[in-house]
Amino acid sequence: MSDRMESTEKERIEETEKIDIISFAGDFLYGLKKLWLLILVLTLAGAGISYFRTSYTYTPQYVASATMSVTAPGGQYIGAQTASQMAEVFPYILTSGVLEDVVAREMGMDSVPGSISATAEEGTNLLTMSVTSDDPQMAYDILHTVIDCYPEVAEFVLGNTSLTILDETGVPSDTQKEVVVRGSYRRGAVMGAGAGLVILCLYILLKKTVKSKDKLKSQINLPDMGSLPYIRNKKRKKKPEQNKVSLINERTPASYQEAMRRLRIRVLKEVEENQTKTIMVTSSIPGEGKTTVAVNLAISLVRQGKKVVLVDCDLRNPSIADFLGITEQRPGIDSVLHKKAAVTDVLTEIDVNGENKLTLLLGEEEEKTDISLLGSKRMEGLIAELKNMADVVILDTAPAQLLADAALMARFVDAALYVIRYDYTKMYKIREGIQALAMSKIKMLGYVFNCDRNSGDGKYGYGYGYGYRRYGSYGHYGRYRDTGKRDKKEDLSGRVIKD
């Protein structure tokens, strides 16, 4: 029994390690796709910097060398062992300073302006001496002086020997620059690529975002309402309405429509079984696609024959009108909450399939708005009035972790649908947003995993492009800044804020 338990535990550990390795490999490839340009730039920059630095700081080095046979006086052959011994003791003779002193004295100098080395050809009596200097003639002169003086210095160690020159380079030329420079830019490229890979590994280890629903299930206690595939966007200037991932857009791929249909089925089950009539759609931070989900869920429900009212409760940054291509300025939810207009006077209807209509209560572009109204009796009364007009009321709210708007009005709403975008939001922000809603005692319908790249359905020409323009003027939320480009906002890390 014990052996079986140990075997099971071992298999479980091995499976966990296998999953971790596969997960890391997947994260590595995904990170590589995102950072490949940075790695390429660092590689080229490293190669270029190293190349130019070496080219400008390179000092020519001239190497004069000669190959000699080691013989005894009278031409008597000296064995390979003696030649090898001469090469082995050469470093000791050099470090002792005796040879350099003799050579310097012979040349009439205080010191030798170059470096000297010697190697023995294995199995022969041949010895090769080399002298390196920054002056070619000096290198040649030092070499011959060393050849003349070396037997005299080595006599105390090896006895009486002589050196016979068999081959020499003559006055050398600089042949090393090309080799040195080529090696330098290769080393620079390797260092640049290494720096890029270090950044990639740090990116993988420190970016605690969610890339799978399995991770979500282990971190948060919410029902899984389904996934919506990532749809890549190809901007069309002539037909901007086709840039939206909308069920009204005929170019939206069937995979996305099918995923939305599955979400609608789950939501309808909740509506019918628990008499849920008001649903808040929110997320942790801007850019997770909550407006896209809210609009498409409303359209899908209308196509199913339900009477739906879609309300833009994001007072700071109303975006439903922009999403649906409504450019006409008209009174909206602000006017109703400030008692400037009746709700029936500001409602708008749009066709979704030629037969059924979606009712909208849009937001207004106001410089200043009273956010506390979201938690007021007026808001409670407005939601109650809308419930009497429709089968389902969907409220698109501001991000729950970033702002308190959603939590303020949560006590007037039956349930909340939480949108979480693939590889976008850090896990602690997701938990904080859910906790903020949970404190209001609202029922959490579940989460939608948006832009899911694991679904394999995202190879199409669409995406999200709904920018958050106005959160920057509210206290500590000012970390979201305007880049000066239309429909593009970035936080301080340079991430584009979209919704």
pLDDT in tens, 116-131: 887 777 767 777 888 8
Percent of the chain scored above 90 by pLDDT? Answer: 27
Percent of the chain scored above 70 by pLDDT? Answer: 77
Is residue 178's pLDDT more than 90? no
Question: In this structure, how many other beta carbons lie within 10 angstroms of the beta carbon of residue 203?
Answer: 17
Q: What is the mean pLDDT of residues 75-88?
A: 61
Average pLDDT taken over every residue of the chain: 79
Q: What is the mean pLDDT of residues 318-329?
A: 87
User: Which SS3 state, helix, strand or coil, does residue 229 take?
Assistant: strand
User: Which SS3 state, helix, strand or coil, does residue 53 take?
Assistant: helix
Bigger pLDDT: 477 vs 26: 26
Q: Which tokens hold the place of 475?
A: 């206290």
Judge contact between 353 and 303, C-beta under 8 A: yes
Q: What beta strand segments (E) does 370-495 contain?
A: 392-396, 415-421, 443-452, 481-485, 488-490
Amino acid 191: pLDDT: 92
Q: To which H or E segment does residue 99 belong? A: helix 98-107
Taking alpha carbons only, the member of 312, 412, 416 closest to residue 358 is: 312
Q: To which H or E segment does residue 380 belong? A: helix 377-389
Amino acid 111: pLDDT: 85
Q: What is the mean pLDDT of residues 222-245?
A: 75
Enumerate residues 6+ apart whose C-beta is below 8 A from 144.
Answer: none
Amino acid 1: pLDDT: 47
The strands making up 488-490's β-sheet, listed across from edge to edge, are: 481-485, 488-490, 496-497
Helix-strand-coil split of the chain, %, nearest 5:
50, 20, 30
Amino acid 240: pLDDT: 55
Is residue 360's pLDDT more than 90? yes
The full DSSP string for 301-335 is HHHTT--EEEEE--SSS--HHHHTT-------HHH
Q: In a 10 Å sphere around its CB, with 0-12 CB exposed, 13-18 middle and 19+ buried, how is residue 31 labelled? A: buried
User: Scanning the structure block, which residue is given the tokens 């759609």?
Assistant: 281
For residues 355, 361, 362 and 363, what is the CA-based torsion angle, rounded to 10 degrees?
-170
Judge contact between 109 and 96, C-beta under 8 A: no
Judge contact between 413 and 313, C-beta under 8 A: no
Judge contact between 278 and 413, C-beta under 8 A: yes
Is residue 146's pLDDT more than 60? yes
Query: How many angstroms separate the CA atoms of 114 and 142, rounded?
Result: 8
Using pLDDT thresholds of 50, 70 and 90, give the confidence band for residue 465.
very low
Q: In a 10 Å sphere around its CB, with 0-12 CB exposed, 13-18 middle and 19+ buried, how is residue 187 labelled? A: middle
The model's pTM is 0.63
Judge contact between 431 and 210, C-beta under 8 A: no
Q: What beta strand segments (E) does 106-168 contain?
A: 115-120, 126-133, 162-168
Angle subtended at Cα 162 by Cα 160 and Cα 168, rounded to the nearest 5 degrees:
160
Judge contact between 482 and 472, C-beta under 8 A: yes
pLDDT in tens, 27-44: 788 788 888 899 999 999
Type of residue found at 477: Y
Judge contact between 145 and 74, C-beta under 8 A: no
Bigger pLDDT: 241 vs 50: 50
Q: 481 forms bridges with which residues in the sheet? A: 490
